[in-house]
Amino acid sequence: FNGFEQLCINFTNEKLQQFFNHHMFVLEQEEYTREGIVWAFIDFGMDLLACIELIEKPMGILSILEEESMFPKATDKTFEEKLMNNHLGKSPNFQKPRPPKPGCQAGHFAIGHYAGVVSYNITGWLEKNKDPL
């Protein structure tokens, strides 16, 4: 299953892809306009901000994880409930996970990343987040 570390990797990839898209597509087209080049703006449909905000905004996944980590009585279940209450049906990128393949552990939620939908299992995330460096 995909855990906390994979979420961090996928989040970083979302940020890098957004940076690339913005610089290669948006800023380049703005430069054409400044230089007086006749240009019809093309929307490449690669704005990843909704996914990025789902993870990093206040009351996003990382914020809720941080908040739950401060409560001694918080559990994986309370963390999952908070995620569902705050995001399911409210963010198009936050989804119910697909049913697990035989012999695989079930996911608790899924995120629509630019490269595809990824299911995550939150078992142990609170402990990992509390672990001092």
Q: Tell me, what's the pLDDT at 133?
A: 66
Q: What CATH number should be reported for the domain holding residue 71?
A: 1.20.58.530
**DSSP-assigned letter for residue 48:** -
pLDDT tens readout for residues 75-128 = 999 999 999 999 999 999 999 999 988 988 899 999 999 999 999 999 999 999
Geometric angle at alpha carbon 61, from 4 and 7, rounded to 5°: 30
Number of domains in the chain: 1
Question: Domain span at residue 20?
Answer: 4-130
pLDDT tens-place string over residues 51-89: 999 999 999 999 999 999 999 999 999 999 999 999 999
